[in-house]
Amino acid sequence: MKKRVLIYILSVFSLGCVSCGDFLDEYSQNQRYAETAQDLDELLRGECFMAFQSSYSSNTQETMSYSSGLTMNYPWLHVMDDDAEEFVSGGLTYTANYPRNVLGSFYHWGADPFLTLENAQYKDNDWEKFYKHIGVLNSIIYMADDFRSKEEDIELLNRVEGEARFLRAGYYFLLVNIYGMPYCKATASKDAGVPLKVTEHIEDKYFNRSSVEAVYLQIVADLQRAAVCLKGIPPSSTLRVGATAANALLSRVYLYMENYEACIAAANEAMAGTYSVMDLNNWTSGQNVVSWTSPETIFTQGGNSVILTFLSYSSGWSGSTPISQALSFQASEDLLQCYAAGDLRRTAFFKSSLHAAIPDKYKTWIDYSDTDEVGMDFLIRLPEVILNKAEALAMLNRDGEAKTELEKLLSKRFAVAPSVTETGEALIDFIRDERRRELCFEGHRWFDLRRYAVNSIRPLPENFRIRHQNNDYEANSMTWYENGYYELNAYTQDHAAWIVPIPNYAIEFNRGELQNEIRPNRELIRN
């Protein structure tokens, strides 16, 4: 008789995902027995990938309801950096579910970012979702090893284990970069990361923070194993994982760790695949640049919170006031000024009007029937891999090789690609700016700024600041006006504000074993 293994869907309850009562309820409804690799594959597809949340629908004003926590994945990630700024407009009925209110405390780097501007508290659902996925993945990885002596379809088992390890690595990467300190080579072994649990069994204990180094080493180990398991097994689509995706993510992780030689090696493995950079010289208006069918897209999952977070375009936007989302966010002027004359991305990545510039990389905003909307919550594209390698080469003073990599990208982003003449630190800065231009609104900028802040070779200067303008409403004239700004100081001076606090429900459940550094209150600076 085959061994039956019980899977606990909510096996990480001790991290604070659910209450004891909730866990018992879920246990009775969500237990499953896995006996074959096919069973594991079904569980993987059903429980371990990020859910796709429809982000836009025809003829409706989408809102950002926070009553039970946001359903979309971490939309606030896009408003803390210098690529976003407020868009406000009079003449529209205000609702508390507009992004400006819901995400305002993140935009202002407030002491409690999950407190709306109207002082309503909402739940951080992302922590819970990450650890629920990881709990199931732990069981799948354990069972994949247990099944090897009796499973006939070894290729399927390898694919399941490879995808499971990739996903676990990816979720821990997001967790540690959201809730933990950035990876600093000198202090990573002591810096606070996130709780690390990779065993399949339920542990009756309270969890504390593992070090940043420990979390990263686990990520690397999982991705290395994933690349081995998935070698020679092509993914069925960009919604499934292959060896190229594992190596691409590994190049990102090594870059963050300042392991530049390893980053280059992983990038080379990823670039040996069948993917190619889309030539924007052949782009036509309305065409998706980033999609799950693009030759650049290596892997994608989740929804697209950008569409809900930023000002939405509609066919009715022709007057002095947009009829779609106001009290929202738009691409910052600082970002737009980064694009040189002749850079085709300025037109292809944004939809401009008299009112604002809207991130428009992902889909045709007025085409509600578009079925090629990419999941940007977890997105890997070939241009990122190229830039990972270029930055690693520049950090090793291999400037000529770095420029060669840059040319692979720039030749597809300009009608006549400019010559890269920078060297040394100036070249590093150019590559960082290129990452900002190419990867904007894909969840990279905030993480990049964090790692730049602690980089051992080219750290951000001590005078680095991010300034976010604040606006007030004058009811009589029905107009908005600037009344000051909030400022985020350099990481060395303001580092608690560069880390999202672990949610209170996890803190309370773990009886104080988990701790957050106190985020300072942020005062409005008057103009």
Give the per-residue pLDDT at 305. Answer: 86
Give the per-residue pLDDT at 56. Answer: 47
Those residues with Cβ within 8 angstroms of residue 177's Cβ, 6 or more apart along the chain or in another chain: 256, 447, 450
Handedness of CA 274, 278, 279, 284 (dihedral sign): positive
Q: Confirm whether pTM is higher than 0.85.
A: yes
- For residue 526, give both structure tokens: 């008057």
Those residues with Cβ within 8 angstroms of residue 59's Cβ, 6 or more apart along the chain or in another chain: none
Using CA atoms of 254, 258, 264, 269 in order, give the dihedral in degrees to the nearest 10.
0
The string over 58-94, giving b where at least 16 C-beta atoms fall within 10 Å of a residue's C-beta and e elsewhere, is eeeebebebeeebbbbbbbbbbbbbbbbbbbbeebee
CA dist 101 and 308 (Å) reads 13
Give the per-residue pLDDT at 261. Answer: 98
Using CA atoms of 18, 20, 23, 28 in order, give the dihedral in degrees to the nearest 10.
-160
Give the per-residue pLDDT at 31. Answer: 56
Asked whether 226 and 242 are in contact (CB, 8 A), the reply is no
SS (H, E, C) 437-482: HHHCCCCCHHHHHHHHHCCCCCCCCCCCCEEEEEEEEECCCCEEEE
- For residue 330, give both structure tokens: 């738009």
Amino acid at 145: D
Give the per-residue pLDDT at 219. Answer: 98
Q: Enumerate long-range contacts of 468-476, CB under 8 Å, 24 or more apart.
A: 468/85, 468/86, 468/107, 468/108, 469/85, 469/86, 470/86, 470/108, 470/524, 471/86, 471/88, 473/88, 473/90
The residue extents of the domains of the chain are 5-52+124-233
Those residues with Cβ within 8 angstroms of residue 338's Cβ, 6 or more apart along the chain or in another chain: 433, 436, 437
Using CA atoms of 108, 495, 379, 364 in order, give the dihedral in degrees to the nearest 10.
20
CA dist 255 and 260 (Å) reads 6
Query: Under CATH, to which class is 5-52+124-233 assigned?
Result: mainly alpha
DSSP string, 221-255: HHHHHHHHHHTT---SSTTS--HHHHHHHHHHHHH
In the chain (527 residues long), the average pLDDT of successive 10-residue segments reads: 39 49 38 82 95 53 79 94 86 74 96 96 96 96 92 93 98 98 98 96 86 98 98 95 98 98 98 95 87 92 86 48 62 94 93 70 56 82 98 98 97 95 98 98 97 98 95 76 94 96 93 92 92
Give backbone dihedrals phi and psi of 484, rounded to 5 degrees, phi first.
Answer: 140, -170
